[in-house]
Structure 1
Amino acid sequence: MIRYAATRGVLLLAGLLVASVLIFFTLRVLPGDVAQLIGGTTSSPEQIAAIRAGLGLDRPLPLQYADWIGGVFRGDLGSSLLTGTSVADELAAKAQVTAPLGLLALLIAMAFSIPLGVASALRRGRADGTALNVGAQALAAVPVVWAGMMLVVVFAVWLGWLPAQGFPRNGWADPAAALRSLLLPALTIGVIEGAMLMRFVRSATLQAVGQDYVRTAAAKGLTRRRALIRHGLPNVALSVVTVLGLQVAGIVVGAVVIEQLFSLPGVGRMLVADVGARDLPKVQGELLVLTAFVLIVGFVVDLAHRFIDPRQRDTA
């Protein structure tokens, strides 16, 4: 297990290095010039050139990349070209909104998708099982923006239970107010992602129920439910863990849209604003951190597979 984890860790670092190269050089071919943005439309070409030189943008791209990646290895993601603030500090501040939002959305998705997915499989062919399956398919097809607006209408406008937008100015100093402001956005993401997860749980459960060892256990006197819980859940867990890894990546992407819709000061909203402002050090730092997060989730999923499935522990 340790050898396997070390090998996967090396591959993770290699993937991050490749991603950093792609992020850095792709951003440099995008249209727009931050020096022109800083100087304004009235600046002369000489003034723009002086701004570029002062920012180090006139240096060869390989040297700029070497300086940036060297700073990353030292824990320094650089500074904003427009404000001069530390990218790492801003990311840490914005993550206090995005991280709880993603975690809450994931918990909501798991809370109803796993039990309802198993129930839908065990009741296949019955009216309630069919209703659960149809409902999951319908929810999975709903656009996340439309779902968010409908939830705002119901819970914020009609019922007045939750705020429609925004986040407390004092952040988590008032945990209750902060949590209330995240409930609607998290519910929006959690319902859509949970509906998709529920379909995978149902398929994995149906496949497990049809396995010989489950039928044998049932033939020995166990009910189908007990046979599934005792002998089939490990195989179901393998599929669920894989899909959960993909769901986490989906939640990160969905947070970019949801933070715009609900006016949350998170990483996704900051990324959209920085792309529009051509603040390349911030954008590349944000993209690298998000990429690292997705790759780390994949790394954890691989280790979880290794731990859950004893057949994989004996392989190199």
Structure 2
Amino acid sequence: MRRLIVRRLLQTLPMLFFVSIVCFILVKAAPGDPVRSFVTPNMHAADIERVRHNLGLDQPLYVQYFMWLKECLTGNFGYSLVNHQPVLDQILERLPATAGLMASAIALAVIIAIPLGLAAGANRGRWVDKLVNMIAYIGNSLPLFWLAILMIYFFSIKLHWLPSMGMRTIGTDSALDVIKHGILPCIVLAIGFLSVYVRYIRSSTISQLREDYVQIQYAFGSTKRRILFRHVMKHVLLPIITLLGMSMGDLVAGAIVTETVFSWPGIGSLGMTAVRGMDYPVILGITLFSSVLLILGNLLADILYGIVDPRIKTTR
């Protein structure tokens, strides 16, 4: 297991280097000029060029990249062009809100998907299977932003059950208030992944029920429920662990949309604000930080897969 972790960590280094190059080129190719954030109507052309020189934007593109990469390796992601605060401090300040929302959505999706997928796979072709499949296809087809607006309309505007935006009520500082604000964005973010997980668990359950160990358990007098939740579920969870690592990219993208609609103070809403304000240092920092989270998520999935499946430990 230690070799697996070390090997995966070494493999992430060239991947991060490649991701940093792509992020830098994409941001530089975007329309707009960051110098405009410092330009005032009374500035002369010489003053504008002085600002461009101080920002290092008059250097060749590869020089700008290595200067930026050098600062990133020391933990300095630059300063925002809008509020002039350190980029890393802003990301770390909003990271707990995004991490809490993503972890809650994944936990909710897995907890609901396991019994639904097992029930659909165990009753293949019956009304339970058809109902679960219909719900999964509908959930997979709904756009997140439309679903979020629909949830706000019904549960916040019409029924007045839950708050529609933000993370806390002004003047209230309690965990219950944060949970109430997080219910709607958590449900919206979980629905998209719930549909995918249900279909994977269903197909895996169908294949596992054909294995010989299931017939042996039936021969020993075990009930169908006992076989499903005591034996089949162990094998079903293996592809889910891999799927969790593969879905990290969609999770980050979904969090950006969800946080923007619900005004959730996370990294996603910070990124959208930076895009609207052409705040290039913040955009670069968030893109690189999200890539690191994606790579670490896949690394964690590999480690968990090795812990759950002992056969990986003995395989070179």
Q: TM-score, normalised by structure 2?
A: 0.92
Contact 1:91 1:286 in 2 (8 A): yes
Q: CA deviation at 1:252?
A: 1.4
> Which ranges of structure 2 fall in alignment gaps of 5 or more residues?
none
Measure, in 1, the Cα distance between the counterparts of 2:169 and 2:26: 35
Contact 1:38 1:82 in 2 (8 A): no
Measure, in 1, the Cα distance between the counterparts of 2:171 and 2:256: 19
* Amino acid in the other structure paired with 1:95: L
Question: Does 2:44 align with 1:56?
Answer: no
Measure, in 1, the Cα distance between the counterparts of 2:165 and 2:255: 14
Runs of 4+ in 1 over 6 A off after TM superposition: 169-172
Contact 2:118 2:228 in 1 (8 A): no
Q: CA deviation at 1:91?
A: 0.5
* Amino acid in the other structure paired with 2:287: L
Q: Could you tell me which residue of structure 2 aligns to residue 4 of structure 1?
A: 4
Q: Could you tell me which residue of structure 1 aligns to residue 124 of structure 2?
A: 124
CA RMSD of aligned residues (A): 2.1
Distance 1:277 1:158, change over 3 A: closer
Contact 1:94 1:267 in 2 (8 A): yes
Q: CA deviation at 1:7?
A: 0.6
Measure, in 2, the Cα distance between the counterparts of 1:172 and 1:18: 45
In terms of mean alpha carbon deviation, does 73-82 or 105-114 score higher? 73-82
Q: CA deviation at 1:104?
A: 1.8
After superposition, residues 147-226 of structure 1 pair within 5 angstroms as: 147-168=147-168, 173-226=173-226
Q: CA deviation at 1:103?
A: 1.7
Question: Does 2:144 align with 1:144?
Answer: yes
Aligned length in residues: 316
Cα deviation code 1:96-144 (max 9, x no counterpart): 3212211221222122111111111112232233212222222221111
Q: Could you tell me which residue of structure 2 aligns to residue 243 of structure 1?
A: 243
Residue aligned with 1:77, SS: coil
Contact 2:169 2:177 in 1 (8 A): no
Q: Could you tell me which residue of structure 1 aligns to residue 30 of structure 2?
A: 30
Measure, in 1, the Cα distance between the counterparts of 2:172 and 2:14: 36
Question: Does 2:85 align with 1:85?
Answer: yes
Q: TM-score, normalised by structure 1?
A: 0.92
Q: CA deviation at 1:229?
A: 3.7
Measure, in 2, the Cα distance between the counterparts of 1:172 and 1:87: 28
Cα deviation code 1:274-308 (max 9, x no counterpart): 12322222111111110000110001111122222
Measure, in 1, the Cα distance between the counterparts of 2:229 and 2:166: 43
Q: CA deviation at 1:89?
A: 0.7
Contact 1:234 1:309 in 2 (8 A): no
* Amino acid in the other structure paired with 2:193: E
Question: Does 2:98 align with 1:95?
Answer: no
Distance 1:113 1:265, change over 3 A: same
* Amino acid in the other structure paired with 1:46: A
Contact 1:118 1:202 in 2 (8 A): yes
Q: CA deviation at 1:233?
A: 2.8
Residue aligned with 1:273, SS: helix
Question: Does 2:233 align with 1:233?
Answer: yes
Q: CA deviation at 1:42?
A: 6.4
Percent of residue pairs identical: 29
Question: Does 2:81 align with 1:114?
Answer: no
Measure, in 1, the Cα distance between the counterparts of 2:227 and 2:178: 43
Contact 2:37 2:82 in 1 (8 A): no
In terms of mean alpha carbon deviation, does 122-131 or 3-12 score higher? 122-131
Q: CA deviation at 1:195?
A: 2.1
In terms of mean alpha carbon deviation, does 33-42 or 183-192 score higher? 33-42
* Amino acid in the other structure paired with 2:11: L
Contact 2:119 2:128 in 1 (8 A): no
Measure, in 2, the Cα distance between the counterparts of 1:101 and 1:259: 9
Q: CA deviation at 1:62?
A: 2.7
> Which ranges of structure 1 fall in alignment gaps of 5 or more residues?
none
Distance 1:284 1:6, change over 3 A: same
Distance 1:172 1:15, change over 3 A: farther
Measure, in 2, the Cα distance between the counterparts of 1:29 and 1:154: 41
Measure, in 2, the Cα distance between the counterparts of 1:284 and 1:108: 31
Measure, in 2, the Cα distance between the counterparts of 1:121 and 1:82: 53
In terms of mean alpha carbon deviation, does 124-133 or 267-276 score higher? 124-133
